[in-house]
Every structure is written in structure tokens, then in C-alpha cells.
Amino acid sequence: MAMNIGAGSEEEPGVMASINTTPLVDVMLVLLIIFLITIPVITKTVPVKLPHANNIPTRTKPGTIVIAVDRRGDVFWNDHEIASDRVLLQKIEQAAVEVPQPDVHIRGDRAADYKYIGHVLYELQRGGMVKIDFISIPSANEMLAGAE
């Protein structure tokens, strides 16, 4: 609503002292509606069914080798401590020639330095092992996603 302020006769209207914002608001609302309608049309994506992540429990086969590395860097082969790198390499080379080659599961302590686990990986590579897995505890987010 506009209000006429000023002196003037009925024959001569006075000057309008305020801005009439009603047309501006109307135009802005129309533009907002147009943008709200066109944005979903513009942002098209390819319809793809994404896979769900499932936390599958580790199944240890009888031929699976579990190598554990504790925080001090001590290496254990199926719960038996390995005395030296030479003994570890011999065991790896013996297992690598088996048909089919057994899987190797590495369990590294959270507080262990990466160099200890990296050294075990290096020895596994030198010995010719191909199937190597890391064992870990799932995070809270993965456990919640698996419950859905």
C-alpha cells in the first residue's frame, strides 16, 4: 500500500514518498518458484543401484595361515612365535609351494609400528605368497550399516 504525502489539490496529486515493494516481492516469489521447479530437472543422475556393504565374518579354512604381529614387533605363525626372519622366510617358502596356496591373514596390533607389519609383508612377497588379507575390527559406522 502506498501513502500519498504532500500538499496538493484534488486536481494535482502529490508526490509519492515511499517505494511500492509489492511488485518486487511478487517478481521474487515467481523467480523462486521457477528455480524450485527447474533445479530437480537440471540435476539429473544416472540411475544406478549401489551395493550394500556387508560385514562378512572371517571364515578361517584349515589351510589358512594367521600371522600376528604384536606391539613389540614379535611375529607369531598360527599362535607360535617365530624366532628370526630366516625362520619366517623358510615357513613362507614352504607354504607358498602348496597347491592350492593357502590364504594368509595378518593380524597387526593397533599399537604396533607400521614397519613391523611392512616387514612381514615384504617377507611374504619374497617368499611368493599371493593371497594376503588383513584382519581388523569393524568400526561403529560399519556395524550400524550392517544392521540395516
pLDDT band at 139 (very low <50, low <70, confident <90, very high): low
* pTM tops 0.85, yes or no: no
Would you give the DSSP letter of residue 2? -
Domain extent listing, the chain: 65-147
Please tell me the distance from the alpha carbon of residue 117 to that of residue 69, in angstroms, as a whole number: 7
pLDDT over 50 (residue 148): no
Max Cα–Cα distance, the chain, nearest Å: 113
pLDDT tens-digit readout, 31-58: 999 988 887 776 665 565 666 656 666 6
Would you give the DSSP letter of residue 121? H
Mean pLDDT in residue range 94-108: 91
Instruction: Report yes or no: 132 and 106 within 8 Å, Cβ to Cβ.
Output: yes
Looking at this protein, which amino acid is placed at residue 22?
A: T
Which of the following CATH numbers is that of domain 65-147: 2.30.130, 3.30.70, 3.30.420, 3.40.50? 3.30.420
